[in-house]
């Protein structure tokens, strides 16, 4: 089977628009009646007309549908219905083929009461907590001094004024990037989520503040929306939640890194107080100066103590003591040397006397003589020489030459 350039089979015939529209309408008609939950973005009551037109918006997505209903149905189920209210309606989807639009036809409308809202929020709270969105371990610390603060709040609102005024009063040089959004009603969640993404993508923004003034539970409902909670959880930049008053606790408070009780409290948390920091710096400098002064005084006392010691006060004393010690040692060395020299001289004299007593010269001095042959051999017996042998006679003084006669 060959195909054309468009990619469809050559045997397939294109459908007319009306056929496509009819088939879509037939498929939607098979859906039957369904229950739909949403937020009323607009109510249109035409004088004298029995039909009322509503614009129903998904609070978590940029999506809305037109709802038609009878005035009696609206008066019976939600007579005080206003824009921004949360409703549950029983409706049948209808597809208008001529325009290609989808709408809902409602035969029952119920305005969601406070009790039902609280029950839904409690259920969502348990779900998010189970997934770890409220885990304290993942919460990040705020920077001590952010370069720029991102602020998401209503346009010209008291919350915006409180955050900007108090933050600049505490730290005049603080910079803000403010994104104004709707903080209640249909579309609030979408705008806040978009603003979060914009500020989180800005590398100059170090912390993001979501601020809104007080209000009822219905007014603060966008700040308990699941999509917003997940968007805050996904932010890489630390987020401060400053919604309502102290008693108000929307779910985004539990997801944010820091919960501020009021917008004014948020301003105090994101920037330090310049006057307080200067006071602390002054105290630190005073403590440092006192510590340095004490250290210098302590070392000065220690040096005075060292200088007062005799070895430093009169350093010549050490030399004088050593001179005395050296002199005493010298005298003792001289005495020892004299004694040893005297003992050695005496011993030498005794040795010399013994040597002299045993010396042949001493024997000669007593009148003896030494007879030697011509070869120097000492003659000890007469048989050692013969007649006519020359002899040498050594006396104490001088020598005699002799000849053996017999």
DSSP 291-311: HHHHHHHHHHHHHHHHHHSHH
Token pair 């009148």 is at which residue? 367
The answer to whether the beta carbons of residues 365 and 396 sit under 8 Å apart is yes
305-326 CB burial, b ≥16 within 10 A, e <16: eeeeeeeeeeeeeeeeeeeeee
Angle at 348 between CA 344 and CA 353, to 5 degrees: 155
Extract the tokens encoding 288.
């440092």
Distance CA 46, CA 90 (A): 22
Cα-Cα end-to-end distance for the chain: 172
pLDDT of residue 232: 94
The answer to whether the beta carbons of residues 379 and 385 sit under 8 Å apart is yes
- What are the angstrom distances between the C-alpha of 271 and each of 34, 43, 207, 348, 395? 51, 44, 10, 105, 130
Which pLDDT tens digit goes with each residue over 2-50? 334 444 444 567 877 777 777 887 888 788 888 888 888 888 888 888 8
Angle at 214 between CA 154 and CA 177, to 5 degrees: 30
Helices (H) and strands (E) in the chain, counts: 12, 13
Extract the tokens encoding 215.
């209000």
What is the chain's pLDDT, residue by residue, as a tens digit (406 residues)? 333 444 444 456 787 777 777 788 788 878 888 888 888 888 888 888 889 999 888 776 668 889 999 988 888 878 878 877 788 888 989 888 777 888 899 998 887 766 666 777 888 889 999 999 999 999 999 999 998 999 999 998 899 999 999 999 999 999 999 999 988 876 788 899 999 999 999 999 999 999 998 777 777 888 888 889 999 999 999 999 999 887 778 899 999 999 998 999 999 999 999 999 999 999 999 999 999 999 999 999 998 888 887 777 777 777 888 888 899 999 999 999 999 999 999 999 998 888 877 777 777 777 788 888 888 888 888 778 887 788 888 887 888 888 888 6
pTM of the entire predicted model? 0.55
């Amino acid at each position: 089977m060959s195909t054309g350039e468009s990619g469809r089979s050559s045997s397939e015939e294109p459908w007319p628009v009306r056929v496509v529209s009819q088939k879509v309408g037939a498929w939607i008609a098979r859906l039957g009646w369904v229950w739909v939950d949403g937020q009323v973005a607009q109510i249109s009551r035409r004088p004298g007309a029995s039909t009322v037109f509503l614009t129903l918006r998904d609070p978590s997505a940029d999506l809305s549908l037109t709802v038609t209903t009878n005035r009696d149905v609206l008066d019976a189920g939600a007579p005080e219905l206003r824009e921004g209210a949360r409703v549950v309606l029983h409706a049948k989807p209808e597809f208008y083929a001529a325009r290609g639009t989808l709408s809902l036809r409602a035969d029952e409308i119920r305005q969601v009461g406070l009790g039902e809202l609280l029950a839904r929020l409690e259920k969502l709270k348990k779900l998010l907590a189970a997934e770890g969105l409220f885990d304290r371990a993942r919460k990040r610390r705020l920077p001590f001094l952010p370069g720029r603060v991102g602020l998401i709040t209503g346009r010209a609102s008291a919350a915006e004024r409180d955050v900007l005024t108090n933050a600049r009063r505490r730290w005049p040089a603080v910079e803000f990037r403010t994104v104004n959004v709707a903080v209640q009603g249909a579309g609030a969640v979408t705008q806040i989520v978009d603003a979060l993404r914009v500020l989180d993508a800005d590398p100059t923004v170090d912390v993001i503040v979501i601020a809104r003034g007080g209000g009822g539970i219905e007014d603060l409902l966008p700040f308990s929306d699941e999509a917003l909670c997940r968007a805050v959880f996904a932010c890489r930049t630390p987020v401060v939640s400053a919604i309502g008053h102290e008693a108000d606790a929307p779910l985004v408070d539990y997801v944010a890194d820091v919960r501020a009780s009021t917008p004014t409290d948020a301003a105090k948390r994101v920037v330090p107080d310049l006057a307080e920091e200067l006071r602390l710096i002054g105290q630190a400098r005073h403590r440092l100066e006192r510590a340095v002064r004490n250290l210098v005084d302590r070392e000065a006392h220690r040096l005075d103590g060292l200088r007062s010691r005799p070895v430093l006060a009169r350093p010549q004393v050490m030399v004088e003591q050593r001179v005395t010690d050296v002199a005493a040692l010298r005298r003792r060395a001289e005495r020892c040397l004299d004694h040893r020299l005297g003992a050695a001289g005496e011993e030498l004299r005794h040795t010399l006397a013994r040597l002299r007593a045993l010396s042949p010269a001493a024997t000669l001095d007593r009148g003896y003589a030494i007879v030697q042959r011509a070869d120097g051999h000492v003659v000890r017996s007469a048989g050692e020489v013969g007649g006519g042998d020359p002899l040498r006679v050594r006396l104490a003084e001088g020598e005699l030459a002799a000849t053996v006669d017999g």
